[in-house]
Each structure stands twice: as structure tokens, then as C-alpha cells.
Structure 1
């Protein structure tokens, strides 16, 4: 009790009040409660009471308790209290490890299992590790499955506008502590490095599973202490308490399921504090909104205020041209994101074939669309099955060869990346106002950039009938070059005997080739090269006549 009072814990939460009597009596517990509701103390208190006061456990007695946490950061957070060790659990890749740990535990033990979501993985683990558990669910009758003080919003953001929307959101909340979730480590690295070079006016940090544990803990501690933007994978979505100071949780990429969503937004609005969250959904991911509402998640759908959108695609393109390492990172981020969508099990929400691949690549500043071999195999599989491909599928099928983008000019300005006052969120950036004056000063300082176009290598190119034709070098019998227009003249200047002599000797008995048809003729009379281009004697044409012939030739081409 003295330790609890010193840490300012003087009253119990619902889950603590409901579970502690059973845990202190030695019963197994399966506890379910919302994020930030005090589940950690619900098992820390019984552990301390059992080991220290009841059993008088000491160092010489060995291991008396094992605490297994979802992430290393959470294990480190618990280590400050119980000196525990842990690793990520309940994921497919760690089930074997977890089963091996449980198989080595003594049969006579007490097990306490707490989670914010009762998924199938949690239920399977409970059947495996618990014996006649006491189920304690304190929020089952609640109208919502997330904290009451959490304001949740969702908006449609096309895939090619996600980075623009994220940049604009950060610029509008420079005085907030923002936790941004992306689906892969490569995306976290790219967005962090790219935005850091653009200097939005607020400290930026990143956290992902590929980082060494020491660095991860340093980043976690720094984010807890002061305002900043933390780009992270789901490694930061489980159990972490950022000192109750996260103002915004921004989910740039859609979570894989409802449980993942609940854990992500649970990093804010912890215990008695308030918090806000926003979810970016592409048009093809709108089914997730229905799933959230069915799971009693009160998400408010809003419309983004595009008048405050600040495009960064042009700036990213300029960065990638100068920085080859950043360009390689962008390619990897592009591929890993699409692969993560491709391998998702819920095809009602995630369909990679419905995504604008080319536009997404352009929005990241890439000059070419990287190869997507896994998508090419999927296209081939459709063809083998006799499935009719739509236009989007056909475009994706051409992507593995690479495609080239040409910028169509357009004025480009500089994006304001300095500090400014935080905008009014509800009435400004997020929620669009129908009554806004059209002449209002806009936050977009980057000039309009015309949409980029790409020419796929496998597509047929149209012939420009007005383009200049190439020239042909002609040699006389002695090997001397003839003037370039010596072969061009009207039929009245043609010396037929000269033509027969020259052509007849060269062709001999060879089979005459099929005459070529001009593609730059305005008429449909089908005149051939032999009818229109005749040989003439070069010594009978003066320079002035050659110029006249050239003008005549050019005029006939238009």
C-alpha cells in the first residue's frame, strides 16, 4: 500500500476492483477491459502480494513469476516495476515460442491473462494456459468498446493523397503530440526521412521492429517527455502508456482488423485523460468503417477540408532526384505497402487490384513505377483462370516493365515549412465548411502541379504525322556523298533512264520488295515511294532550286 500511495494510486479502477479479489485468492483470471483502464496494476498487485508478503520469495528461490507482454517496449515499461522480461505474443509467428514457454511452466501455478480485446488468439491462449479461469469483463455492457473520452473520426483519403494529407495534418498541429501508424518498417523509414528533410516545424521520430532495442527505448522515452511526431508500426500499438500525453493518433494505413484499430487508438485517452484519433481510408477500404460500427466503435465519418491541403509530391520528387538513397527507400516503401495489402486475409477491405498504382508511385516522388512481380503473378493467375481483366488490371499487368513519367510543366512554388500557430481542427483542417468564403486565404502555397502522365513501354504509340522525317545519305559511284535533296523533285524532272540504270544494276535478279506507304500523307490515294520520290541528276539542280524543293516538300507534308 505504501508503494501505491507514493505513486499516487489511491483508488481502484473497475477492472482492478473486479479482478483483485479473485487473483489474491489464487484463481486463474481471464480479464477483459478497455485500453487505459488499469489492467497492468490488476496483475502487478497480486504478483507483489504473492511473492513478497505471502511466500517471502527471494533471489535464492529462482524465478517466481514470468510476465509475457505483447512488445519489448511494454516489457521495459513493466521492468521498471517488476524487472520482467517479455516479447511479442499472440501473433502467428510467435505461437510456437509461447507454447514452448507454457509447456515448461509448472502444472501447479496461477495464471492471469488480461487483454483489451477478446480475439480468437486470446481465447486459444486462455484454453491452453488457464485452468477453470474466472472471466472478468467490466465493459461488456458498455455501449462502446473504446474509451469514452476518445473522440474518433475517419475520412476518405485517396491513396495518392495520403502523404499530402499527413503533411497538412502535421503542419496544422505543430503544438500537439502525434502518434502516426504506418503498415511497414520501410514506410516508417521513408516518411520519417523525407519529412525530416522538409522540416515541418516539429521534432520527428520513428519507431519500428527493425531498430535495436536500446534505441527503441530511447525513442520511446523521448516521445513521452516532449511534443513531437512519432512515426511507428504496430510495435507501439500494444499496451504502451506514453504518460497519458498523446493528443492525436493518426492511422495513415488501415489496420488489419478491428482489434488492431482498438489497440492503436488506445494509446491516447488513457485512464481519465482525453484524446483524439483520425483514420485515413481509401475508397476501396470503406468496408472497415462498417466493421468498426458493428464492433461498437463510435467512429464519426467526416469530410476532409481540401482547401487546406498542402501537396508535397513535387517536393518529394525533387528530393528523390538529389538523393539516390532516399529514392531507393521510397521504392522499397512502395513495394512493401502494396505487398502488405496483397497478403491481407480480409479481401472485403483490402484489394490491391483496386488501388491506383501509378498515381501512388507518383505521389511518393518516384520517377518510375517499381516492378511488382507478385502482382504480375496474380494477373497471370487471372488470365489462366479465364477471368476477364478490367482496365485497372491491364494497367497493373504492364507495370513490371517499368514506366516513365513526364512532368507537364506547370508553375511550382515553395511550400511553407516554417512554424505557425496551430489551426482550429474541427472547423479548419479536418471538417470542411460549406459556408467558407471562396476568396479566403489558403494554406496551399505550392503552385498547381499538372497531373503527371506515363507512357507504358508495352503500349503502342501513335504516329505523329506532323513530325519531321529523317534524311537519307546517298553516295555516287565514286563514293562521294550527294546533296540531301538531290533525290527529291517533281516527276517532270525525273530521268527515267537514270532510274532504270541505277536501280536495275543494284537489284539484279532479286525479288523487288513491297513498296512502302507514306503515313504522313493527307490523301488516301496510296501513292508509293516509287511514285513520289524519284531520282534526279544532281548536277542539274542548283542550290536555290534545292531550297525551293525543300519548301515544297515541307508544305506537302502539312
Structure 2
């Protein structure tokens, strides 16, 4: 009977395998016959797309039925295997636009858990990565791929033990780059798709190093999908990703169509810097039955506004979110604000990208965004998926004209909002009282003041951000401070050069700047010996030093010099006339460099003119050791500028060639190191016969039942011949010997424990 069941299961597995192959062939045929230009315009539902049944079932259960415009255009093209640059308004469903092609690409390639990493999804923030991963687990629950989420703020070792077995990896650039460089077993040779969500943010200077490191590990033959509300057209950025004829879909950078949602109402208000907090307080007090998101330019401003407003209690739940929060706190804050009906969240631009907070009524931009792209992402947190929403931008009089011009050039024209004086309320006295009573609040206010000025100073667009026109005293008074703190801003080209200068050159520059004669009225270089001799409290030094310098020690109020017969260091001179001209020059060198020069015979040659050492050529003629080229031969080669350019070009080519060789060497060393570590771990696993601990792996779909059934069938062929272990009693009928071992169940109640005690005593 068992043999019949075994044969039946084998036939079922073969039939299932044949059916899956037929479905894949049918799916490939549908995709090849599918024309995005013709068929893409006529379809509106996911069910009409040439995608697998498992993906359709996951989309249906997650209530994704009808496609948005960006999903219609990009999914149809992505299924054909082309590279895509998708640009669409915020809240238009870009997440599904790249997750569906990712799952389908892995399905058609028949990726299993043994094939390693096949898809990589990169997002600039942790919150956005978590949001993408949650959507992936919903729509891919019926697919058999393993997926992992790696972000900063989590335990790296925990991820390293599991990440090598993931087919789809979602994470931030820094953590993904770390795993590719350090984790053993991370094989990217089978990568099918690379996705960059909020691509313009991922490709900027903030993540340049991490993205370059990631791309260096990936094969060039892959599909690349870039998605953002504001796309980068920089040729160098696109070349770094090895894009092959990418299809540009959506809002392009050169037309005048706004990237903000149509249901978004946009306003701006002209307000002095000293009235911003009063304006924000008045707005919150008049919108207590609303969900508000407030943007500041720095986290110190977020901290001060949150702490001060929370103390004053406006009557609405207040939350804060910025980058230096721990990961657990950031996720808790995001969840609370998402589920809240009425709340106010103070945040930095970390929230401006991709996060989907449901039903936000107002987005308040207290500080001016750095560019129109930042404005689009900030304002796009509300009015998502066709819902209504409003945005308010606070502009200083010095920022208004230039910023509105830049917004208008991008098709964004917010309306002017006039605030009535009777609706304005001031909280300046309350803030002054808080800063006076609580030193911590005063410190927070000072830090907020300094961080705001620094954020304005580092902006690139100096026509919008004019740090010289900011009223420092009025702004400090609006924060409740008694006066404007002193600001020391480090930066500029000079500081960058000094920062990158070697320590030897920095010390040389300092010595040259200070090493002037005292006769010229400039400060002389002071060595450690000078500082020692100039100490005020000389009595802490040894008596021998005091005797050498002629210092008298006062004892019991007497000025007599202490006599000590054993003090051989004491110098006593009487009636000697010392002539300074007859004495040798025994002064200490002025610096370490001079001391080294005085003791080195080689360095002292500089005081004796040029060296007289000669060298001989092949003809036996003598030449000076250091021979300069004459002026005529130098001019015959061209002018100095041309020779300089030729020399620089020659050296640049040599450096580029050396750089390529160094990169290849480093790559080979890294691969060899990973291979050795992998071999070491494999040897350890072979030696270890103990059972592995249970591991937690996020899996999309069910396990491979066929493989489990096959292993169970093999175990049915031959009965187990294992010998009973020492703690097992024999079940044989002829075994009547008592081995003295009593098998008992674990006691659950007090009565069981008493019975067990009695039985053990009797035995």
C-alpha cells in the first residue's frame, strides 16, 4: 500500500512540474506578443497584464485591481526586459510599478533559494524601505521567493547569517553596500533586476560612495529600473548605472507639467523670520481637528519646536521624527502618525521621500526648501491617490521673489495667503519664560538658532538664501533667547585645503608663519623647552634644575641659598668676568627642524653652498650631481603653460591606469578573502554534527513540499536501523531485565510532584 502511495505522489509531482513549465512557456509567449504601445493603452486592470497567476492572486487579496497611469506605462515596458526611468507625481503608485516587474522577472527566470540574490531594491530612507518591504510581502505571498529587509539601526550579525540566502533584498544604500563588502556568500552573479526608488536622491552626492560600491559588485547584464517624482538627467549618473537605452516614462524634466498631484491646493505666505513660530502656533491652534505634517530644515529646530510646543500644550497630539532617532523609535513614530486621526508631526526632510501617510490634511513648510524638487517631495506627502490635501509654504521677504520664480519655471504656482492680524497669536513671552526657568530649553533654543543659520549658509542657491539679510536678534527673541548666540561656521575653500593638507605640511606652514625674529615685532616659535623655562611655578621642578638656573629657594622666610655638600650640580662662581664674545654659541635651536639640521651632517650641507659631488656618464664625462636644464633648451620645447598641461595630462593618464590596476587588485583580493572565509565556514559546518538552531527567514509563499515529500519517500524505503540510546527502555518482549531506569513525564501540578517524590523514594 505504501509503494502505491509513493508511486502516486511521484506521478503528481511530475504532472505538477509539467504544468508549471507549460504555464511559463505560455507566459513567455504572451509577453513576446504583447505590444506596450498598442495593448498598453487599452488595458486598465492588473488581470489584463501578462503576469503569473500567483502574482495576480496576491494583488487581488491586497485590493490592487485597477492600475494607475504610471503603472500602465511602466509595467508593460518593464515586462519586456527594458531599462526604465519612471517619473510620476507623488502618490501615483510607483511602488507597484517596479515590484510587479521584479516578481515576474524572477518567476520567468525560475529563481530558487539556491540561486542567490536575484533582485535588489534600494531606497534612500529606512522608513521607505520598510514600506516597500511591506507591500512586497502582501503582493508576493503566493510566490516562493525569499525576501529580506536590511537597514541601518539593526544588528548586522543577525542579518549576515541570513542575507546570503535571500532572492530579493530591500534596503538602504549604506547597509546593502556593507553586506556586499563583508558578508560571506553574497553572490550577485545571478542578479536579474536593480531598482532605485527615489533615484535622484540615491544618485546625489550623499549616497555617491555607497551606490558606486554597490554597482561595482553587480553584473552589467541586468535590468535597471529608476523611479522618482523628480528624475535626474545627469549623463554621468546614468553612465554609473550602466543603463542600456532606458525608456523615459512619465513627466520629463524639460516640460512645464507640474509633478504635484492635481488634488493638492498650494499656498504660500510672506512672513518675517521672527514670526515663524508664532505663525505655526496660531495655525495649529486653529486646526486642532486635522492631521498636520510640519517640515523644518534641521533636527535641532525639530527638537526645540517639539519640546516647547509640548510644554505649552496646543491641544493636539505632537510627534517628532528625524534621522538620529533609533530605528525602533522611528518605526513607532511612523506607525503612530499613520494610525492617528488628528496629530501634528514635526520632521526633517527624511520624511519627504516616498512615505505614504494616510489622510494628511496639511503640509506646512516652515523653512524654505533647497530647490523645487524638495518642494515637490514635501508637498506630495498629502493629496495622495486622488485624496484632497493642502500645502502651505512660509517664505521670508528675501526668499519670496527668487523661490517663486524657480517654482514657476517648474510649473508650480502656489497662491498667496493673507493672514489676518486678529488670527495671529504670539507665544514669545511663554518661550522666554521657558528658557529662563529651564537651562535645557535655553540650550535647545541656542542650538536651533545656530543650526538654522548653518542650514542657510550651506545652501548652494545664494540668490534665494541670503544669510547676511537674516535678522539675528529678532529671530533669537522669537525663540525666547536673551540674545543672539555667536556663530562660528567652519567651511570654505581655505578650510577644505587645510583639512586635506598633510600633517607635515601643516606643521611647516605653521612654523613659517610663526618663525620670525622677535626684533620684527612678531611672535617667535616656542618649543617645549621654551614653555618649560617660562613656567610660573618653578618650585615643582627639581632642585638640580633650580640650581642650574640660579633660582633661590626660600625656606622659613630666609633668602639664603640652600647649601648641600652632596649637590654636585650646583655651580658657584665668584669674581669672574665673563666676556660674551669669547663664549661659544650654545643656544638651543629654535625648532625641532633646526635641531635636526644642526645634528645632521647631510642637512648641514645647505650652509656650505651646493654639493661638489660629481657623477659620470657613459662617455666618462663628469657632471654635477644636480644639473638644471638651461633656459634655451627649456624654451625650445614650448611655453611653460603648454609644458605644464602636457605634464599634467601625462601624469593623469598614468594615474588613471594605475587606478584601474589598483581597483582590479582590490577586487581580486576582496573576492579571494570572501572565498577563504566561505571555505572556512564550510569546513566548520562539516565538522559540526549538532543540529542548527531554528532560523527566522521571511519567505514569500509556502515551502517546497515536493522536496520534503521526496525526502520522506526515501526514508520509507529502508526502515531505521538505529540502535536505541542509553536513556530509552527496550520494547522487546524477551527483554525482561530491569535496567534501573524509570521513565516519567514532567510533573505539571503539585499532586504530580508529590507522586513523583513518593515513587522515587520507593525505588
TM-score, normalised to structure 1, is 0.65
Measure the CA separation in 2 of the matches of 1:307 and 1:375: 43
Counterpart of 2:308 (choices 182, 194, 200) is 194
CA positional deviation for 1:376: 13
- Give CA-to-partner distance per residue, 1:144-168, whole Å, 9 cap, x none: 3311000000010110000000000
Residue 287 of structure 2 is matched in structure 1 by 173
Measure the CA separation in 2 of the matches of 1:201 and 1:217: 24
Residues 54 and 233 of structure 1: CA distance in aligned 2, closer, same or farther (over 3 Å)? same
Structure 2 residue 2 is matched with structure 1 residue 2: no
CA positional deviation for 1:139: 7.1
Measure the CA separation in 1 of the matches of 2:90 and 2:492: 41
Counterpart of 1:291 (choices 402, 406, 417) is 406
Structure 2 residue 411 is matched with structure 1 residue 302: no
CA positional deviation for 1:60: 2.4
Q: What SS class does the counterpart of residue 113 from structure 1 fall into? A: strand
- Count how many residue pairs are aligned between Structure 1 and Structure 2: 375
CA positional deviation for 1:257: 0.4
Structure 2 residue 237 is matched with structure 1 residue 125: yes
CA contact (8 A) 1:119 1:259 kept: no
Measure the CA separation in 2 of the matches of 1:262 and 1:3: 32
CA positional deviation for 1:216: 0.6
Measure the CA separation in 2 of the matches of 1:108 and 1:376: 42
CA contact (8 A) 2:89 2:261 kept: yes
Counterpart of 2:326 (choices 182, 204, 212) is 212
Residue 85 of structure 1 is matched in structure 2 by 171
- Give CA-to-partner distance per residue, 1:255-298, whole Å, 9 cap, x none: 00000000000101111211100000010101101111111013
Pick 1 or 2: higher relative contact order, CA cutoff 8 A, min separation 6: 1
Residue 275 of structure 1 is matched in structure 2 by 389
CA positional deviation for 1:303: 1.7
Q: What SS class does the counterpart of residue 408 from structure 2 fall into? A: helix
Residue 46 of structure 1 is matched in structure 2 by 101
Measure the CA separation in 2 of the matches of 1:120 and 1:306: 45
Residue 336 of structure 1 is matched in structure 2 by 451
Measure the CA separation in 2 of the matches of 1:376 and 1:13: 46
Counterpart of 1:59 (choices 100, 105, 113) is 113
Q: What SS class does the counterpart of residue 277 from structure 2 fall into? A: helix
CA positional deviation for 1:332: 0.5
CA contact (8 A) 2:90 2:259 kept: no
Measure the CA separation in 1 of the matches of 2:367 and 2:303: 15
Measure the CA separation in 1 of the matches of 2:427 and 2:491: 30
**Structure with more of its chain in helix, by fraction:** 2
Residue 548 of structure 1 is matched in structure 2 by none
- Give CA-to-partner distance per residue, 1:516-549, whole Å, 9 cap, x none: xxxxxxxxxxxxxxxxxxxxxxxxxxxxxxxxxx
CA positional deviation for 1:124: 4.1
Q: How does 1:135-534 map to 2 (within 5 A)?
A: 135-138=248-251, 143-226=257-340, 227-243=342-358, 245-286=359-400, 287-374=402-489
TM-score, normalised to structure 2, is 0.48
Structure 2 residue 217 is matched with structure 1 residue 104: yes
CA positional deviation for 1:41: 0.6
Q: What SS class does the counterpart of residue 374 from structure 1 fall into? A: coil
Measure the CA separation in 2 of the matches of 1:178 and 1:337: 22
- Give CA-to-partner distance per residue, 1:42-96, whole Å, 9 cap, x none: 1000011112x21232322221111111211100111213342124723423211
Please list every run of 5 or more consecutive structure 1 residues that lacks an aligned counterpart in the other structure.
379-558
- Give CA-to-partner distance per residue, 1:192-242, whole Å, 9 cap, x none: 011000000000000001111111111011100012100000000000001
CA contact (8 A) 1:253 1:281 kept: yes
CA contact (8 A) 1:158 1:282 kept: yes
Measure the CA separation in 1 of the matches of 2:492 and 2:476: 20
